[in-house]
Amino acid sequence: MYDPETTDLPVLDNFSGAEGLVRLSQRLMDWYDAPISDQEIADVLGEDLIPAFRYAQQKLDGKVRKVTLEPAFCHSADVAFRAVELGYPKVVVASCFLHDVVEDVCKSIEDMPAALNDLARTFSPEVLHAVSLVTNRYQLIFKRMVPKVDAKAGMDARGVQAFRAALDVVWYELPANSVAIFEEDFQRLGVYLDTEIDLTEAIKIAKRDRKFTLGNFLERRLYDLYVDDLVAHAANTALQTEGHEQVTALIVKFMDLIDNVRTSEVSNRLSLYKLVSKAESVLDRVQTGFLDLVPGDLAARTTIPTVHRIVQVRLVDQFKLRRRAVADNFSETRFASLVHFLAEHANRLAEKYNVPKERVPVIGQLEDQVRAWNSARAGRGW
């Protein structure tokens, strides 16, 4: 229950006012003891979303999230439920259900064509396109590159050249049916490694952390490239269609980020650091690559400005919530640095994004705006 003396949001951050979604979300944790029927899904989501629910459930069966160890499908479902709660159309909700499927079922990049073809047999081109966009292809490519490079590759030009050579080897190993899918991604990675990489930050981190490698640094930077591509596509779509076409993939990414913020491990500092790094990457790149480029009236038609603000406020709120939880419940000295870490980032982010002290009412108002916008759009038949 909500206790204003101890927390800013309900402890589990359940879906406000959406009893059916809350119940269905909770039931997913008991799936093996009490399977959910198609009728239960239809009663809450409608019959049209049963295929996306079942497909994601089947593909993610047996997989768990790395940090929280919750079933992977629970996360995908909760991402979709957030989209439902905010009134997004079914193409967005279906894409939310399926957003992790390709990355999770593909053990290597060679598996991606078959995964996409399998999706295409069941779902619309719009859903397939959104899932393809939200899939981090750079991560799949990088996974194939890493074993080809010495783990002790230096934090210098020679180390970068080793990864560049590995990229070429992976390209030549790529089956013919994958070339068209990955060609632009390989070219973009090549340009980055040849002309854009800056090791200044990496060298500073390596001096503080002996376990930090060039591979760790590249993995972070490739996430930024992935986000840049996602944002650029959304901006181009908004400009070319004058805001009348849904920027589905970026909305899915925001729903994913909101749920990641909610479910991150409270006492795992590395997990929290990765979370805040990725969240800032998305927020800042959406600001510069979308909100600063797309005229305000067009951007507003996409709900991106409002959802962008929701993520900013929720990110700060959840970090403050975690700081309080650790400070109140873990008094041992070894947690003192974690309390400081959480407080430092919460305060820094609050200042950076100009987040008010009273965050809960702001979140509610922003979510109401998104619902109203989606309702009006549905009423106009968009």
Is the pLDDT reported for residue 268 higher than 80?
no
Would you say 124 and 98 are in contact if contact means Cβ atoms under 8 Å apart?
Answer: no
Tell me the β-bridge partners of 71: 64
- pLDDT, one tens digit per residue, over 276-307 is 999 999 999 999 999 999 998 889 889 999 99
- What residue segments make up the domains of the chain, in order of their start? 19-379
DSSP class of residue 195? I
The pLDDT tens digits for 308-367 are: 999 999 999 988 888 887 777 665 666 777 888 888 999 999 999 999 999 989 999 999
Q: What is the pLDDT of residues 46-67, one digit of tens each?
A: 999 999 999 999 998 877 666 5
CATH 1.10.3210.10 corresponds to the domain 19-379: yes
Half-sphere exposure of 140 toward its Cβ, with a 13 Å CA cutoff? 25
- With contact defined as beta carbons under 8 Å apart, do 318 and 7 qualify? no
Can you give the pLDDT at residue 327?
74
Residue burial 295-318, b: 16+ Cβ < 10 Å; e: rest: eeebbebbbbbbbbbbbbbbbbbb
